Structure 1
């Protein structure tokens, strides 16, 4: 039996544990396929409702404070959507939704590095990260069903790159993988070839620290493995 079939069987088992009208539904306030994949790895089947909010750091805001604030704002924006839908006569979904928001940035010696906007931006970022260690910070916010209390956590990992040649950086950009990725690389993809060492949570570098996220979801009424 394959890992995918085992995960599928587990999701079906979880769905059968509670009646459909009482089981909280997990909503991911993100369009990130990596975060959706990681939540599925935990056995969930999240609905994705991207939150479009400004992602600019405030003056003097630390990388850790930024990702926590953006994670909260994404989750709250998603909650507001369901509240507005309810007020317009839609189904009262907010009482059955656990909403999760997350944001990830690269911290290179205190400089916040987001997603590359174009080719030269990505090449410069990869050149800066080459043969250096940087930090990856992810903020996670979980809003329990019908509750305004925000459960949050910020997780940091250290990632060390080996040397990256200009030719490799250009070839990597041309694969299309760096686009839309914090720091201009995907550790779960071709970008893994640049990574010499990771200290801390690997899934955090992908965009969602599973250990900490599972515990927040459990506190919000969505336990993993029935815990």
Structure 2
């Protein structure tokens, strides 16, 4: 059975290779802005992940398992998206400095033939050490913050700010592998 990752994320594409090399990528054209946040981060990321998987379904001819995923960062009940610019990234990282935030990833695994879909999410708590303005500026100069929820990448230079995590590391990178593996097995896919 074909496995399709409905994501343009290079990080997710690299991570899924830890489960299988036999997959294809079809980038979903789902408009994430159609999903409204209703004070429930888990539900929010699952709804977006499902939208991404369903957005690919019509382009699939053969039976396939389609994987949709979405990751957000939350701090004090507020969703921190991808930074608009360097100033936005600085302000986000300054806010996270010395604090604990949550990273949520929603997963949707869809059987394109039966329409059966399984949804779930993972939440990981991440504590940052206090950071000086100079450290934050130096990090922003690397450019790594661009296109990353919360303005950092734990798998890169941003990892130096992480004092501790509680939960799945791969969730923070963008694809909770353990949860995805269990969901795939639940759909009859043994990798």
TM superposition score category, shorter chain reference: over 0.9
State the distance in 2 between where 1:193 and 1:50 align: 31
Partner of 1:38: 15
The secondary structure found in structure 1 opposite 2:58 is helix
Q: Over the residues paired in the alignment, what is the CA RMSD in angstroms?
A: 1.4
Deviations 1:99-118 (A, max 9, x none): 00000001101001111121
The structure with the greater share of residues assigned to strand is 2
User: 1: CA distance between counterparts of 2:25 and 2:119?
Assistant: 19
The partner residue of 1:218 within 147, 170, 185 is 185
Judge conservation of contact 2:37–2:44 (CA < 8 Å) in 1.
Answer: no
* Number of residue-to-residue matches in the alignment: 190
Q: Give the structure-1-normalised TM-score.
A: 0.80
Contact 1:139/1:152, CA 8 A, preserved across alignment: yes
Could you list the runs of 5+ residues in structure 2 that have no partner in the other structure? none
Q: In the alignment, which of 83, 89, 95 is matched to residue 122 of structure 1?
A: 89
- Structure 1 residue 53, shift from structure 2 partner: 2.6
Does the alignment pair 1:203 with 2:174?
no
Cα distance in 2 for residues equivalent to 1:199 and 1:183: 17
User: Which of residues 2, 6, 25 is equivalent to 1:48?
Assistant: 25
Higher helix share: 1
**Residue of structure 1 equivalent to 2:118:** 151
Question: What is the rounded CA distance, in whole Å, between the counterparts of 2:20 and 2:86 in structure 1?
Answer: 36
Where relative contact order (Cα < 8 A, 6+ residues apart) is larger, the structure is 2
Higher-Rg member (1/2): 1
Among candidates 8, 19, 42, match of residue 64 of structure 1: 42
